[in-house]
Each structure stands twice: as C-alpha cells, then as structure tokens.
Structure 1
Amino acid sequence: MDAKLLIEENNKKRKLLTKENEAYYDDLLVYIRLHFSLSEQQSEEVLMEMLDHLIEGQKEGKTAKDIFGDDPLSYTDEIIELLPKEKKRNIIPFVGGIVVNIISWLLIIRGIILVSFSQFTEVNTDINLFGTTVVALAIGIFIIINIWFMLKLTKSSLFNEKRSLKKNMLKVGLFAAASMAVVLVIAKFTPDIGPSFTFNWWVSIILGAILWLFHFIVKKRKS
C-alpha cells in the first residue's frame, strides 16, 4: 500500500481510538510527519503499525501510555533514528506551493485595488524591476522564516499537556506581523533603480488567476 492510501486508512482507523489515546497518538503522528527528511512511505508504514498496535491494546483496556510509555518524545526519537532518510521529500513543493498561492492572491488583489481606485483618481501602474525584485525576495524570505517558525512552534508544543492553542496562534500572529512590517519597510525605502514597465490591472488579475489555477490543479492531483 502506497503512502497516500496509508494516510487515508490511518485517518479512518484513528476514529476508533478513545479521546485520550487519539490525543497521544496524534502527537506521535505529527511529530514524525514534521520530519520532512524521512522516507514518507516508511514513515506511514510505521505510523500504521503503531496505530494497529494501539487499537489492539485498547481492546484489552490498555492506554497509549501503557503501550508506548510515559516519555513519548524519547520513544518517537528512537523510531525516527531507525527510519531511512529521503532528501527534501516535501519541503520544497510545500514551500513552493505556498509561495505561488500567495503571489497569485497578491496579483489579484493588486489588480482589484488598481481598477477600484482608478474610478476615483489617477493610479500609477508602473513597476520598477529592481524594487519589485527586492520586495519579492523579501516576501519569499518572510514566507520561509514564518513556515520555519510555525513548524518549530508546533514541534515544541507536542507532548505537552499544558500547551495552549490560543497562545501559539498569538505567537505566530505577532511573528508574522513583525515580519510583514520589515517587508513593508524594505518596500518603502528600496529605491527605484533601473528600468520600469507598465503592469496594467487586467494583466495583474489574469496572471494571478492563472497562477492560482495552476496551484489548484497541482494540489488536486496530489490529494
């Protein structure tokens, strides 16, 4: 059974767990899946074996702690050490998909704003190549850093019964806001050097829609 089918089967079987066992197992699952360097096939096979073992133990009245122990982090780290590596399995398409999706929406929103404001005042549709490149790189770095921060925060909060979802969301929000503020400052003070070209609102919307459709189709094929 390939990884995709294993994930689907895993999602179905997890519904058989008690709330306590499901919470314990979900932390194991997320922690292993967040290690993108691991072989996806081998990781899903091990997760399925663990789930089957837990379901059988649950029928005998055992809890996840009885089966896997009171130190799930150490237990999972031992499993990860035994799993084969798979270089850059998901992180590149994962980040790339997010970047394409964000760019598509930025282009669409830009086009809508331009056409809306053009009804009341004269708008400048010119784009400076140097300034746009600098801002695009800043946004790309901003996205990568924020993804890294979210993954790190998620991983650190696993196996912690006192974790607070609201607190973590607040941290992510503040970090994203600070990063965006830096991007805005860069955009504000980057000088217009070199050539500029006209980028009309309708071109912006069409290009954004094409990118969004491309991302949607790719995502559908993978799901």
Structure 2
Amino acid sequence: MKVKAMIKQNNVLREQMTPFNRSYYEDMLLALRASKVDPVRTEQLLLEAAALLLEGQGKGKNAKQIFGEHPEDYFKEITGSVSTPKVRSKLNHYLMISCAALTGLFSVYAIAGLLLLWSTGEAGLFGRISIFTILVVGAGAIVLMEMIMRWMSSLSEDDAPKPKAFDIKALGIYVGIAILVVFLGVFLDNLFPVISISPWVSLVLAVAGGLGLKLVFFRS
C-alpha cells in the first residue's frame, strides 16, 4: 500500500475514535512523523496503532490504558528508540501551529483583499499589514492551542463530562499571557513597521504555507 493510501486510511480510522483517544493518538502521530523513521514504516506503524486503539476502545479502554502514559513511548519500543528527542518533536509541533495560523492569516488577507480590489479597485486595510500582527498571530496561536490542550486534559479520560483536577495555575499563566498580548497590541502596533502587501502576494504566501504544511509536517 502506498503512503498516500495509508494516510487516507489513517484519517478514516481517526474519525472513529473518541475525542480523548483521538487527541492522544494525534500526539503519537506527530511524534512518529517528526522522527527519523522511514515514511512507509511510519504509516504502517500508525495504522497498526490505530487498529489496536479502536479494538481496545470497543472494549471500553482508553488510549492511556492501551499504550501507556506517554504517547511517544509506545513507538520507541517498536522502532528501537530511533525517534528523535521529545524537545525536537515539541518544537516541530509549535512550528506547525504557527505556520498554520500564518497561512490562515494570509488566506484571509488574500481573499478579502482580492474582493475589495475587484469591487473598489483598492485593497484597503487588506493591502497593508503590521509586523506586530504577524508576530502576534504566529505566537498567539501556540498560546491558544496550549490553553485548549490544558482544557482537554482536564476532562476525564473516558470522555465523560465530569472534570478532574488539573493545573489551574498553568492555565492562568496562559490566559494572562493572552490578555497581556491583547493590551500590548494597542501600544506596540504603532511601534512596529507596517508594510504594504498586495492581495496577490498574500495569496502566494497562503499557498506556500499550505504546501509547506503538507510537505514538511504531513509529508506523504
């Protein structure tokens, strides 16, 4: 089976998982795809893990009960510890989030700018962008995702709505950072240069970002 076909089958299997199991499995997926394991072997291992997870899920088990506390540890045993260090995997994860956020930003600028260009002859607000906005979107997406992951980790492992104890202090730090960024934006936006950007350039950047996500982080 080709890599693209295995990735497609993998996506089908992920849709059958509970939210908790899917989140855990996607951490496994990111860790393995960021490793030095051969792409074909990577997708084979992911399919085997997905099938094992669904089998256990059918028996009322969750991902931690099947694979253990840490998602990346399961594949280390199978591949003989060929995976890259956890720090690199985490860095790749953050880079992927920032890339996706900036791709979305430039997609909005491209679509809105082209529509205004077509209707009024000028791109208006979507024909210029502050460097500060680019930095905030790239970094803010990481903070937002960490907040979401903290919230998801507070849910019980069997996906019941009953919450369990979690690190409120850590979540408070993330919220505080997000609020600080918003207030800093009011004062710092004028201190950073604003550059002119054609909607066509935004479109090129959005397409390049989308291709980068596919080829680098979701390679086939």
> Please, what TM-score do these two structures have when normalized by structure 1?
0.56
Measure the CA separation in 1 of the matches of 2:55 and 2:193.
62
Per-residue CA deviation, residues 174-208 of structure 1 (Å, 9 max, x unaligned), is: xx999878756544443434654321111111111
Larger radius of gyration: 1
How much does 1:217 deviate? Answer: 1.8
Structure 1 residues 142, 43: closer, same or farther in 2, change over 3 A? Answer: farther
- What residue is the counterpart of 1:10 in the other structure? 49
- List aligned pairs for 1:26-45, cutoff 5 A: 26-28=63-65, 29=67, 31-33=69-71, 39=73, 41-42=75-76
Structure 1 residues 43, 92: closer, same or farther in 2, change over 3 A? Answer: farther
Structure 1 residues 43, 133: closer, same or farther in 2, change over 3 A? Answer: farther
Is the 2:147–2:175 contact (alpha carbons within 8 Å) kept by the matching residues of 1?
no
Structure 1 residues 44, 157: closer, same or farther in 2, change over 3 A? Answer: farther
Q: Give the one of 148, 151, 158 matched to 1:150.
A: 148
- List aligned pairs for 1:9-158, cutoff 5 A: 9-17=48-56, 19=58, 21=59, 23-28=60-65, 29=67, 31-33=69-71, 39=73, 41-42=75-76, 86-118=85-117, 119-120=119-120, 122=122, 123-124=124-125, 125-127=127-129, 132-158=130-156
% identical aligned pairs: 15
Measure the CA separation in 1 of the matches of 2:96 and 2:159.
32
Name stretches of at least 5 consecutive residues in structure 2 with no aligned partner. 1-36, 164-173
Question: What secondary structure does 2:195 align onto?
Answer: strand
In structure 2, give the amino acid aligned to 1:25.
N
Is the 2:128–2:196 contact (alpha carbons within 8 Å) kept by the matching residues of 1?
yes
Measure the CA separation in 2 of the matches of 1:104 and 1:3.
26
Measure the CA separation in 1 of the matches of 2:68 and 2:153.
8
Is the 1:139–1:183 contact (alpha carbons within 8 Å) kept by the matching residues of 2?
no
Structure 1 residues 135, 164: closer, same or farther in 2, change over 3 A? Answer: farther
